[in-house]
Amino acid sequence: MGYSPERINPSDKEHSVANTKKVTSGSTPKAAAFVDRLYRSVLLNGTYKASSIKVAETCKMMENCQRDVLIAFANEMLGICQTLGIDFDEANKGSATKWNYVKMNPGFVGGHCIAVDPYYMIDKASAAGYNPTLLKSARRLNSKMAPKFARRVIVDIKSRGLSVGKSRVLLLGFSFKANCQDIRNTRAYDIYEMMHRYTHHITIYDPHVNADKVRGEYGVDVETDEDSLSIEGYDAVVVCTLHSIFRNPQKWLRKGGKVYTLKNV
């Protein structure tokens, strides 16, 4: 048997299957050599042949665990900067002028890879007697980001002297990642679920997703046509997924309304 872990990045136009180096492996040296030769015959940047299937799968786990940890770091620094009244973007940009600083943006971690794979690694390590504290901390922090963000939006709406229960709210984006249609493990639902406890006047808009699939999997309705949105505008426009088409969310506000993103709530 041959094995090569998936390395596709949804909605990424730059890193395709063809130009991404692949990790390959096999259950025997002969199988590993065959699979490696097959992939090298079609890939532009070649392969990395691992010594075993277990090593190849660990490569996949490490890639996604690292992403989870780095996003958790960015989310942590965002929270610290907001608390101290510091511009996160400016500090992040300044830090990136050093050669070994890894610039990351904060965000909601969903989908079927980065938000899932660390649990496999945590479980396997724990069963073997190792306590992966960093991976656990990153998972806790990232999994709480969406509901924490939604609660802060609710508090801010109240601080504006509005009745949350009567406020009209527009949630922009339902897929787990910008500019893609994948709704698996989306954190946008966490935001909706938290805000729905306080107001039922919520509209979700995402032209990228399949509304029937969203309704079947999550039990909520999503508008995919902009003409279906209220012409009166909304008291709060909450950006859940930053699709390119949402670069000007202010256009959906009513007078006195406010746009909320992770960085400016």
pLDDT of residue 14: 86
Buried b (16+ CB within 10 A) or exposed e, 234-255: bbbbbbbbbbebbeebeebbee
213-251 pLDDT per residue, tens: 999 999 999 999 999 999 999 999 999 999 999 989 999
pLDDT of residue 144: 96
180's CB contacts (< 8 A; 6+ apart) are: 10, 11, 208
Going from the N-terminus, what domains does the chain have, and what CATH number goes with each? 2-51 (no CATH), 57-139 (1.10.1040), 145-260 (3.40.50.720)
32-60 pLDDT per residue, tens: 999 999 999 999 999 999 999 999 999 99
- Is-contact 35 26, C-beta < 8 A? yes
Chunked mean pLDDT (size 10), the chain, 265 residues:
89 85 97 97 96 96 96 97 96 96 94 94 97 98 96 95 95 95 96 96 97 97 95 95 92 94 85
Which positions are annotated as active-site residues?
113
Q: What is the pTM of this model?
A: 0.92
The letter for the amino acid at 163 is: S
pLDDT of residue 11: 75
